[in-house]
């Protein structure tokens, strides 16, 4: 059993309960004042590269003119936040550094506030396992590749239903915390000989039928693979974007079979490996 974080967000441990409002003292001055924002950026650049950073380099990094940077630097020197140590040499004073640190702390706090605010207004869609009421605590788990809201919030991920729903209906879930527990699905790759190796005519159809199993989601890559499946009366669910579908299915706990022509198989296996998914490769060509 492994854990999977919900994509729609995880509520902070310190988040407020439903019905409460997030309050912030006001938008930071640095986000409302272009002059302050530019001063902050200049001081950071100088602090990171002092004392040999030229004004033209600052202008290039900030995307403004050298003349504009020159005017800002003059103001910062006049106000005691920068000190000149010769031609094109500047150093941030202690007073300037204190302002940078104070502003950085404010930005960090505001960033945390924004993160919590966004997380807590996030609503995920799930399938109601039973009849649910608005405001009810629910558990969240994966079943058949779908997120399901249950009446057992004590284990795994959990949240609050934002509306009422009957069994089988979709329901919004907010204030989510925890991790959805699931067993990753298994990807099986059935390699069909490419046309140079005889194509579908060289497939052992009995072996192919047995390898497909029952109830698995099937995707197909390559003409030879498509014709092989049609010869045994099987139509795949996926003809396009098969590698992405297989990866997403496995991550959602579904088993997936890819019937793949030989010349496309190396690229498919590379994609699965890059996604850190285990797979089984079987040849269905006749001996």
What CATH number should be reported for the domain holding residue 71? 1.10.10.10
Structural domain harbouring 237: 187-283
- d(CA 19, CA 36) in angstroms, rounded, equals 36
Q: Angle formed by the axes of helices 94-121 and 34-49, to 10°?
A: 120
Q: How far is CA 231 from CA 157, 161, 191, 201, 280, in A?
A: 45, 48, 16, 10, 23
- Predicted confidence at residue 71, as pLDDT, reads 92
* 193 shares its domain with 262: yes
* Pairing of the two strands 124-128 and 146-150: parallel
Q: Which two tokens stand for residue 208?
A: 């192919």
- d(CA 245, CA 186) in angstroms, rounded, equals 13
* 111 shares its domain with 128: no
- Predicted confidence at residue 30, as pLDDT, reads 82
Among 118, 135, 161, the domain boundary falls at 118
Closest CA to 81 of 56, 65, 64, 98: 98
Is residue 18 a part of any domain in this protein?
A: no
Q: What is the mean pLDDT of each run of 10 residues along the chain (287 residues)?
A: 47 36 51 88 90 85 90 92 83 92 84 62 86 94 88 84 94 86 86 94 94 87 96 94 93 91 95 88 87
Residues sharing a CB contact under 8 Å with residue 233, sequence separation 6 or more, in sequence order: none
- Predicted confidence at residue 57, as pLDDT, reads 87
- Predicted confidence at residue 12, as pLDDT, reads 35
CB contact burial 103-122 (16+ within 10 A = b; e otherwise): beeeeeebeeeeebeebbeb
* 258 shares its domain with 228: yes
- What letter would DSSP give residue 282? E
Closest CA to 90 of 53, 63, 41: 53
- Predicted confidence at residue 19, as pLDDT, reads 35
Among 118, 136, 163, the domain boundary falls at 118
* 100 shares its domain with 149: no
Is residue 21 a part of any domain in this protein?
A: no
Q: Total structural domains in the chain?
A: 3
* 78 shares its domain with 102: yes
Start-to-end C-alpha separation, the chain: 38
Between CA 260 and CA 268, with CA 262 as vertex, the angle to 5 degrees is: 55
Among 159, 182, 205, the domain boundary falls at 182
- d(CA 175, CA 156) in angstroms, rounded, equals 14
Is residue 265 a part of any domain in this protein?
A: yes
* 173 shares its domain with 198: no
């Amino acid at each position: 059993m492994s854990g999977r974080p919900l994509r729609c967000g995880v509520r902070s441990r310190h988040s407020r309960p439903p019905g409460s409002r997030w309050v912030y003292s006001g938008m930071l001055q640095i986000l409302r004042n272009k002059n302050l924002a530019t001063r902050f950026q200049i001081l950071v650049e100088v602090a990171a590269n002092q004392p040999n950073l030229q004004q033209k380099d600052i202008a290039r990094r900030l995307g403004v003119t050298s003349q504009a940077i020159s005017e800002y630097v003059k103001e910062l020197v006049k106000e005691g936040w920068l000190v000149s140590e010769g031609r094109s040499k500047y150093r941030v004073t202690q007073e300037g550094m204190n302002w940078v640190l104070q502003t950085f702390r404010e930005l960090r706090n505001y960033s945390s506030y924004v993160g919590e605010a966004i997380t807590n207004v996030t609503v995920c869609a799930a399938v109601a396992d039973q009849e649910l009421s608005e405001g009810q605590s629910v558990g969240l788990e994966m079943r058949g590749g779908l997120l399901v809201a249950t009446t057992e919030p004590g284990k795994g991920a959990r949240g609050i239903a934002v509306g009422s729903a009957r069994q089988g209906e979709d329901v919004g879930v907010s204030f989510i915390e925890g991790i959805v527990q699931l067993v990753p699905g298994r990807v099986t790759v059935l390699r069909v000989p490419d046309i140079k190796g005889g194509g579908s005519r060289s497939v052992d159809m009995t072996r192919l039928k047995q390898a497909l199993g029952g109830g698995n989601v099937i995707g197909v890559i390559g003409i030879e693979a498509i014709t092989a499946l049609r010869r045994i009366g099987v139509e795949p669910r996926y003809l396009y974007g098969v590698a992405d579908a297989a990866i997403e299915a496995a991550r959602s706990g579904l088993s997936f079979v890819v019937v793949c022509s030989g010349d496309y198989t190396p690229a498919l296996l590379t994609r699965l490996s890059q996604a850190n998914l285990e797979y089984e490769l079987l040849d269905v060509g006749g001996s």
